Structure 1
C-alpha cells in the first residue's frame, strides 16, 4: 500500500522557496491617473488614490526582507465583501519569488458620500489583503506584514505606543483566527488568509511627510529599519 502524501510533501517546493529562496525585486506597473478609467471615478476615490502612492513601498521597506509589494495598473478591487468602492491602489504580494496574493487600499466606503474637503478634514481609508500559503510562512514574517499594515492605518490618538499596541492586537487576532482555520482544514487543504484594517492612517501620513521632508525615498532601496 502507498502512504498518502502529507501537505508538507505536496508543498515541498513551496516550502523550499520560502526557506531558501531569494527575494524578488518588484517590477511596478503604476497606473496613470487620470489617463485611465479613473477619470469617471468619484473624486474622493481619486484623492485617496494619490494619498497612498507610497503605501506599497512603505510596507516593502518596513516588513521582513523576503516580502515585496509590486504595484499593478489593475485598479479594480478584489475584496468580495465590499459593495464599494470599485477602485483602489493594488499591489501583488510576493514572499521571495512566490506570488501569495494582493493588498489594496481605498477611501473607506462611507467617505465616498462626502466631498474631497470633507475627506481632507477627516480622512478614513481601508486596506484589504488576501494571501495564500500563509500556513508555511515563518511566524515573524507573517506577523510583520499584518502588524505593519495595521500600524500604518492607525491614528496617533494616545501616541505612537498606543498605535503600536492596537496594531499588535489586530495582528495577533488575525493570526489566531487563521490558526483556527488551519486546524479545521487539517491535512485537507491550505486555507487563505484575509485581513482588513481601517482608520485615519495618521501614522502612514506622518511617515511619508517625514521621509519627503528628509529626502528619503523607500522606492530607492529595500532596507529593514533598525
Structure 2
C-alpha cells in the first residue's frame, strides 16, 4: 500500500511540474527547449528514485533472507534417514572411462562403506547419504570418486566428495595400492545454524578417518580436533567479517585413510556388511539385527 501511495505522489509531482512549466511558458515566454529540459529532469529524477527503490528491495531480500524454515529444519526437524544409492561401478556412476585408472578402482572399492562408517561415528543429527554419481567436479577439473549428500536433521546441508589424493598415482597408478591416499572435500551451507559440537564432530571425523592413524591413535585424534577447530574458526571469522553473505563452509583433507581401512577390515572379518545389516545407517537407528 505504501509503495502505491509513493508512486501516486511521484507521478503527481511530475504532473504538477509539467503544469507549472506550461503556465510559465505562457506567462514568461519560456522557450520550448527549457520546458522540455525541465520535464526530462523531472522524469530522470523519478526514474532514479524508482531504480534506487528496486535495488533497495533486492538488497533487503538478499541481506535479510528469511532463514526461519532452515533454522527450524536444523534445530527441530527429524533426522533424515539415509537412502543410499550406491554406484555399482565408476562407469555406472557417470565417470569418464578415459579418466579411470587402477588408482581410482582401488579407492572406489576402499570407500564403498565410507557413508556407513560416518553414520556410525558422527554425533546426533548428521546423516550421510551416498549418491549414484562418480563424476566429481573440483577446482582442478573433472575427477573420479564417490559423492555423498550431507544432512543435519531435516535440512540438506551440502556434499562430501572423495577422490584420489597425492600426485604419485598420476604417473604410477598401478602403485597406488601400496601407497594409498584420498582427498576428501566438504561443502556445507547454513553451518552457522548448527551447534558447534555437532559441526566439530563432522569435521573432526572426516579429518580422523582420512588421515594417518595407526602409529599414534591418540595423537591422530588430537590432530583431527585441532584441524577442525582451525577450519571452524576460519569459517566463523569470514561469517562475522561478511555478515551480509551466507558463507559456504569449505573443508579439504588428505591422507592414507588408515582408520577407515581398519574399520572396514574389522567388519569384513566379523562378517558384517553395514548396508545389509543397518541399511548403511547407525546400528541403533533401525530394527535390523
TM exceeding 0.5: yes
1 CA distance for matches of 2:246 and 2:214? 38
Range 38-47 or range 167-176, more displaced: 38-47
Q: Among residues 45, 55, 60, which one is paired with 2:114 in the alignment?
A: 55
1 CA distance for matches of 2:126 and 2:202? 8
Q: Which ranges of structure 1 fall in alignment gaps of 5 or more residues?
A: none
Q: Which ranges of structure 2 fall in alignment gaps of 5 or more residues?
A: 3-59, 285-289
* Runs of 4+ with >6 A deviation: none
User: Which structure would you say has the larger Rg?
Assistant: 2
| C-alpha RMSD of matched pairs (Å) | 2.4
Q: Which has the higher contact order (CA 8 A, sep 6+)?
A: 1
* TM-score calculated relative to the size of structure 2: 0.69
Q: What secondary structure is seen at the aligned counterpart in 2 of 1:29?
A: coil
2 CA distance for matches of 1:156 and 1:116? 24
Which residue of the partner structure matches residue 156 of structure 1? 213
Q: What secondary structure is seen at the aligned counterpart in 2 of 1:86?
A: strand
2 CA distance for matches of 1:156 and 1:26? 27
Matches within 5 A, 1:105-120: 105-120=162-177
**Paired residues, number:** 219
Matches within 5 A, 1:91-170: 91-156=148-213, 158-170=215-227
Paired residues of 1:72 and 1:92 also in contact (CA < 8 A): yes
Q: How far did 1:184 drift?
A: 0.9
1 CA distance for matches of 2:106 and 2:119? 22
Paired residues of 2:148 and 2:159 also in contact (CA < 8 A): yes
* TM-score calculated relative to the size of structure 1: 0.87
2 CA distance for matches of 1:35 and 1:9? 40
Q: How far did 1:65 drift?
A: 2.3
1 CA distance for matches of 2:273 and 2:88? 20
